Structure 1
Amino acid sequence: MKKMLMVVTNTDQLKDHKTGLWLSEFVEPATEFKEAGYEVVAASMKGGRAPIDPNSYSNELPRVWDGVMEPIHDTTKLSEINPGDFDGIFFCGGHGTMGDFPNNETIKQVLRHFISENKVIASVCHGPSAFVGVTDHNDTPLVKGRTITGFTDEEEKESGLDSYMPFMLEDQLSEEGADFVAEESYKDHVEVDGNLITGQNPQSSLSTAQAIIKHFDKA
């Protein structure tokens, strides 16, 4: 059985804007993983219940999501996770990640394991903010020379939240050497570069998970 570590934010506010995890970016991939027979564990920097971005709720949640949300009601502290127990790591998005993912020492330590063991490293939307400041054992940025995607500058401006951001994600990842591919705003778009699998926006959550499963099936 494959075991996936899904990392979510604890940040519930940026300036005066309420934020958190974008719900579908956990639930859609987690559903795919569970249907594929994977075990899913949710973690966050502080542990406990993950804040959900209020704008990511719909009036009626799909019935297939029943039970899938349970892991984010009581996440494990990432610092207490043994990365050796997992086949892959998936950083879920939501604007909250911009508050606690970038340049995070715990994330850096955990990711170095996945880098050195050539395990799956994946993310969607703002999830790649976890890669900011991450280097391998040779001090080379994780994203240098890698083809990736994530929430684009254009999408950030269209969301009207660019002024709340500590930096623009696309710009920062490009500055660290990523070959950042930005497709049309809010369209499903996934990039696969070896074991590094990234999705551009919430609309890409399902496809990102499917790309991860396909990667494992080929291995």
Structure 2
Amino acid sequence: MKNILFVLTSNDAMGSTGHKTGFWVEEFAAPYYALTEAGHNVTLASPKGGQPPIDPNSDTEDAATEATKRFGEDEATKKILAKTHKLETIDQKDYDAVFYPGGHGLLWDLVESETSKGLIESFLSHKKPIAFVCHAPAILKNISDEDGNPLIKGKNVTGFTNGEEDAVQLTDVVPFLIEDMMKEKGGNYSKVGDWQPYALEDGLLITGQNPASSEKVAELLMKKLK
């Protein structure tokens, strides 16, 4: 049994568009259930603590999966989610791994968060796995290795594709495109067809392409923790 930290966004605004965002339900729910059912302890945190915002587009019939339907009826997990710990109170020594669910919200808070950056680098320096799915790999933009180089330089990585961002018509809204950023930072970026499951492991780093990749990321994380 391992202790795994989930870090969720506290941001509910899509830049200055007036549209709401947050975290993507499937990217939280599928890994949460996979990990807890395997006997692991999951602790939830966010920059502001308390209830993290749910992206309304992830809570619709179109976005529904078995995991999201289960979450919709799971009052016990909703109560836990409503009381996330403040990120600044978290110490990596209490956990065996960290996982970041995606959703557009984090592009405006966790990407630039010095608290999050320090936490991720602390996990790495203590040889603990770090995992990200969909938009969460955007957080790797500001993460460096021990030599001060971009962490993803030369690493096999994936994340939300330019095509997927275009399909949801947010190419001109997001601060940057994840696929482009990963290539610019020297990452060995790869992808499969839009909306298809795809996840990669490279050392301590695990990344997944899109919401459908959430469970694959959880599987790779569990294998890593054995």
Structure 1-normalised TM-score? 0.94
2:144 corresponds in structure 1 to: 135
- Can you give the 5+ residue segments of structure 1 that lack an aligned partner in the other structure? none
Alignment of 1:62-77 (within 5 A): 62-63=69-70, 66=74, 67-77=76-86
What do you get for the CA RMSD once the two structures are aligned?
Answer: 1.5
Give the whole-Å Cα distance in 2 for the aligned partners of 1:142 and 1:187. Answer: 25
| Superposed structure 1 runs of 4+ greater than 6 Å apart | none
1:164 corresponds in structure 2 to: 173
Q: Which amino acid aligns with 1:197?
A: I
Deviation at 1:11, TM superposition (A): 1.0
Distance 1:160 1:184, change over 3 A: same
Mapped pair 1:26 → 2:28: yes
**Is the contact made by 1:27 and 1:68 (CA closer than 8 Å) also made in structure 2?**
no
Q: Please, which of 154, 161, 165 is the counterpart of residue 152 of structure 1? A: 161
Distance 1:91 1:64, change over 3 A: closer
Q: Which amino acid aligns with 2:176?
A: F
Deviates more, 1:93-102 or 1:133-142: 133-142
1:97 corresponds in structure 2 to: 106
**Is the contact made by 1:22 and 1:53 (CA closer than 8 Å) also made in structure 2?**
yes
Deviation at 1:148, TM superposition (A): 0.8
1:48 corresponds in structure 2 to: 50
**Is the contact made by 1:103 and 1:134 (CA closer than 8 Å) also made in structure 2?**
no
Q: Please, which of 198, 201, 213 is the counterpart of residue 204 of structure 1? A: 213
Distance 1:77 1:179, change over 3 A: same
Q: Please, which of 117, 121, 143 is the counterpart of residue 126 of structure 2? A: 117
**Is the contact made by 2:4 and 2:97 (CA closer than 8 Å) also made in structure 1?**
yes
Structure 2-normalised TM-score? 0.91
**Is the contact made by 1:30 and 1:68 (CA closer than 8 Å) also made in structure 2?**
no
Deviation at 1:200, TM superposition (A): 0.4
Give the whole-Å Cα distance in 2 for the aligned partners of 1:63 and 1:100. Answer: 28
Give the whole-Å Cα distance in 1 for the aligned partners of 2:196 and 2:80. Answer: 28
3-state secondary structure, aligned to 1:164 = coil
Q: Percent identity?
A: 40
3-state secondary structure, aligned to 1:185 = coil
**Is the contact made by 1:31 and 1:68 (CA closer than 8 Å) also made in structure 2?**
no
**Is the contact made by 2:48 and 2:86 (CA closer than 8 Å) also made in structure 1?**
yes
Deviation at 1:198, TM superposition (A): 0.9
